[in-house]
Chain A
Amino acid sequence: METIRNYLETMFANLPNTMDVLKAKNELYQMMEDKYEELIAEGKHENEAVGIIISEFGNLEELADTLGIGGVINNNVDLDTRLVTDDEAMEYVFEASQHKLLIGVGVMLFIISPIFPILITGSTGSLGGVVGFFITIAVGVAILILSSARMGKWSFLDNLNCVIEYATANALYAELRNNMLSKALMKTIGIMCIILSFIPVIILDELTAKSFFGPNMAPASLFIMVGIGVLLIIASTAKDGAYNKLLSLNDSKKVAGNYDSIRSTQHDYGNEVFNKIMPVYWKTVTCVYLIWSFLTFHWHRSWVIWPIAWIIHRVISTSYSDKRR
């Protein structure tokens, strides 16, 4: 049955995304499905059934008049489209998520770089601290530049009119869904790291006051925690970005563009403003939290942003999202 679905989707891929076309596709699918079930019930082998159905499908030209698609069918082969194959798609997902991960590492290095001047103090050490600080930043920058350069070969995804096949889209969507849990988990742990970053500060403050690094261990731990947290948050979205990029390649005005709509349906708040704000809600909250905390260093106070933000989010989503229909 999957073969038939793919066949039909491929036949329709270049047609305009109108109600008439979609209705025709559904109706034809219904008929083919009925036929398939009956052929299988008659004891036909799956391949044989598929062969019969495809040979008896007919010709889309017959639908040209009813669907107003004459022009599209006659120049079905769009010369300037570039098909992204299955293998390419998987390779892109792999490399793009690696790229995102490296960005995360780079950003983490920027965040933790101040620990060197904090930890290495005293008359002999202060120079070492500054050197450590700059080396860390330099390594971070190098990682960002190198990984961006590696992504250069994928620039054709933006520059050419690329398309993916239905089967590829389906596989990508399945992976996107499989990835949801690990993504949520990573994001949660990342946010927890940031929220709880003041805890090691308190503990270490008590414990290490008299140790080698002295009282500076505590503030340093804060940077490390936040750095790890940010890395996890960035890494959690690594694969998603790649999946969504590939799934949105197809022209939304054509049937193939519908592969796009099978990915996570965006929440509809029934309100222009909220629809724009909510997708970036948690990112904004994280930014506000980090900015407030780093500017004032009132970590013991700034965490209240999280429970407050959570309550606001609940209120908005419960009072708006159900009104959409």
Chain B
Amino acid sequence: MTNNMIEISSDVIRGYNDTMILYILMEAPSYGYEIAKKIRALTEDKYIIKETTLYSAFTRMEKNGYVVSYSQNADNGKKRTYYKMTDAGKAYYKEKCAEWQLTKEVVEHFIRGDE
């Protein structure tokens, strides 16, 4: 559970779930729960990605060719679906990063920290 009173708006974050997942897959291929755990750790518990959100992102990105999935036995012998980033995924990630820079710049003009 988060400590802050402000909840993150799912509408805003929706466009960047893919970016977060791809960021994590850039290091190494990974599976559902591990990715969710890393997102949570990197954001210091401020964003907890829902299972259904994660899964719909996986399927959407796989359809677009940004990731590929394969089955592999984990350390404990359990069969898991792993996701691996493709070159198209890398290009898409860069695109999204640039898009975010622009978005941030634009929105930033209208944010006042005081009051």
Contacts and interface: CB of A to CB of B under 8 A. Distances in A.
B46 interface: no
A110 to B, nearest CB: 55
A34 B33 CA distance: 6
Interface stretch (B21-29, B48-56, B88-96, B107-115): B48-56
A65 B51 contact: no
Q: Which of B33, B37, B58 has the most CB of A within 10 A?
A: B33
Interface in B35-57: 36-37, 48, 50-56
A28 B34 CA distance: 13
A46 B48 CA distance: 20
Given A28-B55, A31-B32, A35-B33, A62 B60 contact: no
Contact of B56 (A31, A32, A66): A66
A27 B56 contact: no
B80 interface: yes
B50 A27 contact: no
Interface string A53-76: 000111110110110000000000
B51 A31 contact: yes
A56 B56 contact: no
Interface string A209-245: 0000000000000000000000000000000000000
Interface string A25-38: 00110111011001
A59 B14 CA distance: 14
A24 interface: yes
Contact of B50 (A34, A38, A58, A66): A58
Interface residues of A, number: 18
Interface residues of B, number: 20
Given A66-B59, A66-B60, A31 B54 contact: yes
A60 B60 CA distance: 15
Contacts of A27: 32, 55, 58, 81
Contact of B55 (A34, A35, A38, A63): A63
B31 A57 contact: no
A66 B59 CA distance: 7
Interface string B72-109: 00000000110000000000000000000000000000
A31 B54 CA distance: 10
A34 B32 contact: yes
Given A24-B55, A63-B55, A63-B56, A30 B50 contact: no
A59 B52 CA distance: 6
Q: Which of A24, A31, A58, A60 has the most CB of B within 10 A?
A: A31
Interface of A: 24, 27-28, 30-32, 34-35, 38, 56-60, 62-63, 65-66
27 contacts: A27-B58, A28-B52, A30-B32, A30-B80, A31-B32, A31-B51, A31-B54, A32-B51, A34-B31, A34-B32, A34-B34, A35-B36, A56-B48, A56-B50, A56-B51, A57-B52, A58-B53, A59-B50, A62-B50, A62-B52, A62-B53, A63-B52, A63-B55, A65-B60, A66-B55, A66-B60, A66-B63
- Would you list the 10 A-B pairs with minimal beta carbon distance, nearest first? A58-B50, A58-B52, A34-B33, A31-B32, A66-B59, A62-B52, A31-B33, A62-B56, A66-B56, A57-B51
Interface of B: 31-34, 36-37, 48, 50-56, 58-60, 63, 80-81
Given A32-B51, A34-B33, 19 more contacts: A24-B55, A27-B55, A28-B52, A30-B80, A30-B81, A34-B34, A35-B33, A35-B36, A38-B37, A56-B51, A58-B50, A58-B51, A58-B52, A59-B52, A60-B52, A62-B50, A62-B52, A63-B55, A66-B60
